[in-house]
Structure 1
Amino acid sequence: MTDPLLRLDAVTVRFGARAALDAVSLDAAAHEIVCVLGPSGSGKSTLLRAVAGLQQLDGGRVLLDGADQDGVPAHRRGVGLMFQDHQLFPQRDVGGNVAFGPRMHKMPRDARDRRTAELLDLVGLPGASARPVATLSGGEQQRVALARALAPEPRLLMLDEPLGQLDRSLRERLVVELRRLFGTLGTTVLAVTHDQGEAFALADRVVVMRDGRIERSGTPLEVWQKPGSAFVARFLGFDNITAATVNGAVADTAWGTLPVPAGTPEGEHQLLVRPSGVRLGPPGGGLRCEVVSRTFRGGHVGVLLRPERGPDLEAECVLRETPEEGAVVGAGFAAEDVVVLDRE
């Protein structure tokens, strides 16, 4: 079996008594795109800094291509970095910033100019090479920083909120372009972001962190279909979570009796009901609920329900079938959208 390009082996970083990283172990294969998700303070950015050599370890090892990086300075690790604060060179224009890495790698001038132009076009700043950095908006600075990180074609590219300040349409276009570009270059990517849509669109593997530890890791589809814990489910935006007692094909919950998928283990569990699995109909056709609010979300409408028993529920409806606020409806539940979570 081929060794991973990046390996974290029980990496620990402490700030006083608090463990920002608590014995974290993680592999990234060559050419793999790994996106790390988590709330503020979960350890995402500390993890990047530890890999980059910008944060001293209190325990464990970081290995690149099988070599322990203990004592290896950041500039000798062969990694590309882009952090939230951009850190552009103010004395250089846009082109000088983007071309800095290739120039340090002795790339010929013509090739540097072509690469700079290609990358500026990719990040939405065509023809901006001669612009002074001081004239750039925050979002434009982030685009330049991204182009600069990509320019040397590093073996490992590390990104901290790489698209955070970009407008939505550009962000969505760049995610597609970045995934294509990383595949073309064969670059291994370790990125951290709070944007779930960005991570799930970009990543081959998603890692969710909590309090300095890895809570869940898997392909985007695996994590989305089986969050594992209530923490991960809520972080992904799922709030229909309840304690349940499973008996055969049904579960007793605060919302009443719910169907569960075949093979669900019996006993005490926490259940997640995806909003897509809450089916609305006439008041007599299920759990009686009042429609509290509606939120338009592009392809569907999120409907917040107040049931006659149990906590609030969220459902999803297509626009033409969305009930009015204040309406009384009946809520049924689809077994295929009921997911068993780990007990916490």
Structure 2
Amino acid sequence: MSMLRLDGVTVGFGGRAALDAVDLDVAEHEIVCVLGPSGSGKSTLLRVVAGLQRADAGQVYLAGKDQSGVPVHRRGVGLMFQDHQLFPQRDVGGNVAFGLRMRGVARAEAERKVAGLLDLVGLPGAQRRAVAALSGGEQQRVALARALAPEPRLLMLDEPLGQLDRTLRERLVVELRGLFGRLGTTVLAVTHDQGEAFALADRVVVMRDGRIAQAGSPLEVWQRPASEFVARFLGFDNVVEAKVRGERAETVWGGIPVPTGTPEGACRVLVRPAGVRFASEGLPCVVSGRTFRGDHVALTLRPEAGPELEAAAALQTAPGVGERMRVAFDAAEVVVLP
């Protein structure tokens, strides 16, 4: 059963479509992350679902019910924003209990629930702490507990970890996925961070100019980007024009093997950096850039013809800038784009 369904949702600002006839389903207990560059429509999508932005056309359904005209506070959704929006005059317990108080939950029950939620998000016994005394990560946990307190049927996150440092983001995203799994929470999250989305989501939605460019599991989207836009958005820049003949594609880099069954004719091909490998015979290149990435070295290669290539090499075997070599291509890392 769909917890959320968008049917042809359109929103325009100043003659430009921020959302252009968007259709989207989010199943019960599913975690969906919406990715896209600035201006792609991902935050507008979240605001329409929450009831903070009116749609010019189309419908939003929650648990099968049309939400047209339903105000924010009656939609049964939880909201968590990038800047936390905690109440500075209230302590931690007061912040978490806010939604419960608005719903008329008895004091004793609210206190019990607040204590349980703070345990759940890793802040046991923090009820009396001042918000100003909390670190960024702790404030994020309080905001999450507050959003979960009214038991929303849909939890929506807008750049939830955007203000945190990288190490803390990576740790919290793992904790969040585990927490949502234990609670069975249905989640719709918006983020610009691909790593965050791929670690958190059951399904990823990539947006471009108010439309959905691709939707699928993190593995599907990563392995088989549906267009050059999606490929480049994911950080893959080894894309060139090609003409497929049999099991090879002719390009400015020479012949590149393509997956069996690829239709013949003109196309564009993507070669992931992992598919550019050193060989005794192949395309002559010079190493023009070298970047340490922790577990590997990212290389920029300048071939005799065509655009530069990105490659990945093990720390122990990575060549230095200025070295000459030949490269070949691995068909398993080649994607034929429309």
TM-score (normalised: structure 1): 0.93
> In the alignment, residue 165 of structure 1 is paired with which amino acid?
Q
Greater Cα offset, 224-233 or 169-178: 169-178
Q: CA deviation at 1:137?
A: 5.2
CA displacement, residues 222-241 of structure 1 (integer Å, 9 cap, x when unaligned): 11111010000000010000
Please list, as runs of the form range in 1=range in 2, the aligned pairs for 1:106-255 lying within 5 A after superposition: 106=105, 108-121=109-122, 125=123, 128-136=126-134, 138=136, 140-255=138-253
In 1, the alpha carbon distance for the partners of 2:124 and 2:13 equals: 43
Matches within 5 A, 1:269-280: 269-280=267-278
The answer for the alignment partner of 2:257 in structure 1 is: 259
Q: Which residue of 1 aligns with 2:9?
A: 11
CA RMSD of aligned residues (A): 1.6
CA deviations on 1:104-143 (whole Å, 9 max, x unpaired) are 441604422422421441xxx5554323233445554334
| Counterpart in the other structure of 1:319 | 315
CA distance 1:110–1:146, shift in 2 (3 Å): closer
Aligned residue for 1:71? 69
Q: Is the 8 A contact 1:142 1:165 kept in 2?
A: no
Amino acid at match of 2:166: R
On the 8 A contact 2:243/2:266 being kept in 1, the answer is yes
Q: How far apart, CA to CA, are the structure 2 residues paired with 1:129 and 1:120?
A: 13
Match of 1:42 in 2: 40
CA-to-aligned-CA distance 1:33-87 (integer Å, 9 cap, x gap): 1100000000010000000000011000000011100110001100000122322
Which of 74, 86, 89 does residue 88 from structure 1 map onto?
86
Please give the secondary structure, in 1, of the residue aligned with 2:156. Answer: strand
Instruction: Output the CA distance in 1 between the equivalents of 2:114 and 2:17.
Output: 44
Partner in structure 1 of residue 59 of structure 2: 61
Residue pair 1:300, 1:319 contacting (<8 A) in 2 also: yes
Q: In the alignment, is the contact (CA less than 8 A) between 1:251 and 1:258 conserved in 2?
A: yes
**Which residue does 1:294 correspond to in 2?**
290
Distance in 2 (alpha carbons) for counterparts of 1:130 and 1:274: 51
Alignment partner, residue 325 of structure 2: 329
1:26 deviation in Å?
Answer: 0.3
Cα displacement (A) at 1:259: 1.2
**Contact 2:96–2:114 (CA under 8 A) maintained in structure 1:** no
What is the number of equivalent residue pairs in this alignment?
Answer: 335
Assess if the C-alpha contact under 8 Å between 1:176 and 1:202 holds in 2.
Answer: yes
* Contact 1:99–1:116 under 8 Å retained in 2: no
List per-residue Cα deviations over 1:279-338 (Å, max 9, x = no partner).
0245xx211111111122222211111111110000011111100111111111011111
Letter in 1 for 2:118: A
SS of 1:177's equivalent in the other structure is helix
Following the alignment from structure 2 to structure 1, what is the Cα–Cα distance between the partners of residues 82 and 40?
16
Q: Return 293-302 or 192-201, whichever deviates more.
A: 293-302
TM-score by structure 2 length? 0.94
Aligned to 2:306: 310
Provide the rounded CA distance (Å) in 2 between the counterparts of 1:204 and 1:216. Answer: 14
What is the one-letter code of the residue matched to 1:62?
V
1:100 to 83, 98, 101: 98
CA shift at 1:180, angstroms? Answer: 1.6
| Cα separation, 2, equivalents of 1:120 and 1:150 | 10
CA distance in 2 between partners of 1:204 and 1:116 (Å)? 24
CA–CA separation in structure 2 for the residues paired with 1:98 and 1:256: 61
Retained in 1: the 8 A contact 2:100–2:110? no
Measured in 2, the distance between the counterparts of 1:134 and 1:170 equals 19
Equivalent position SS for 2:259: coil
- Asked if 2 retains the 8 angstrom alpha-carbon contact of 1:102 and 1:112, the reply is no
- Deviation of the 1:175 alpha carbon: 1.7
Secondary structure of the 2:327 match is strand
> Secondary structure in 2 aligned to 1:207?
strand
Q: Could you tell me how far apart the structure 2 residues matched to 1:43 and 1:116 are?
A: 32
Q: Mind listing any 5+ residue stretches in structure 1 that lack a counterpart?
A: none
Matches of 2:100 and 2:289 in 1, distance apart? Answer: 53
Q: Give me the whole-angstrom Cα distance separating, in 2, the residues matched to 1:109 and 1:42.
A: 39
